[in-house]
A = this chain, B = another copy of it.
């Protein structure tokens, strides 16, 4: 069997944890499996490097930031190879150049295009554990790129797909995917299985266990994932296309506090205004969520939408810049103390009433809904950030997701 195992930064934060990971990989190796390990940078190393860069140049180019950040994973993989070697198992570390991990051109947020597997296969055939830098790639200019948030998960899935691996295990510091964040909902229970689509909705809603790009890629290439803890032996959660029939209606409740609502009031009511607004934002890489358009006063219209809270100021500046030109409006507002709460479940597709049940639970808990958005397998509401815990618990309870 060929197994790809990915470990995040906290799993390799110090010597003891590095050896813990080394031992877990060696267990598989000694059962006769071929093992490919994908690692993130150790602990807070990426943050330390970013702070170092910011101290030198607060507006450092993304190209040079990637050049700096990629040293993080290279450090992890080299130390891991040394650890395995000291345990008597031959191992070799490889960076993005050595694998040839080809990506698009974009620095700091590149997409993987093609992974050469020759070097990895060669090392595997030499009975080595192969340790690959996550998060990083190289573009057509032979420059380092990084894959953005959750990039190491994407590396692992892409490698599993390219190598036609038999398993792709994503190790984190939690036991798997839960029906809700256990820090908020005390009796949240661990899911044994979840579909790609549900995981995608949860990931994009800040459930934080897996990044949505890695799940998208796993779905696209049919890579079955297991999310489990590097700290214990609990079974974890399997992420796959179809899960067992007796599946619950709703898999989980998620929230995203990194949300801000921007309202643009008194826009001209003529065709193309919404297009221009969102096009300006898209050109700056700002993702827009839950959009509401309503009729304003005196033949104008109002548009409100949510963006990630940390992109809100930039979004406001962009709109401001076009206010005298293509985006005439009377007022602009930003609310940062809002959050999204969502219920997610593949079962929703064939069951009406999920939204109604959610709204009822929120009403009973006295939580006001500011805006609503739905997909086939998700209902999301925008609420005041201070009611997040109340809302999460109320909805979790209403769908009887608790473990007891």
Contact = CB atoms under 8 A, between A and B. Distances in A.
Interface string A79-96: 101110110000011010
Interface residues of A, number: 37
A113 interface: no
B74 A79 contact: no
B74 A57 contact: no
A404 interface: no
Contacts of A74: 67-68, 70-71, 74
Contact of A93 (B52, B67, B77, B83): B67
A64 interface: yes
* Prevailing SS type, chain A contact patch: helix
Nearest to A61: B85
Contact of A85 (B15, B57, B82, B92): B57
A56 B82 contact: yes
B79 A63 contact: no
B85 A64 contact: yes
A67 B78 contact: yes
A175 to B, nearest CB: 28
Contacts of A86: 56-60
A136 to B, nearest CB: 12
A179 B315 CA distance: 64
Contact of A61 (B70, B82, B143): B82
A19 to B, nearest CB: 8
Contacts of A142: 97-98, 119
Contacts of A78: 53, 64-65, 67-68, 71
B52 A64 contact: no
A75 B97 CA distance: 17
Contact of A82 (B18, B53, B95, B98): B53
A61 B78 CA distance: 10
Interface of A: 15, 18, 49, 52-53, 55-61, 63-65, 67-68, 70-71, 74-75, 77-79, 81-83, 85-86, 92-93, 95, 97-98, 119, 142-143
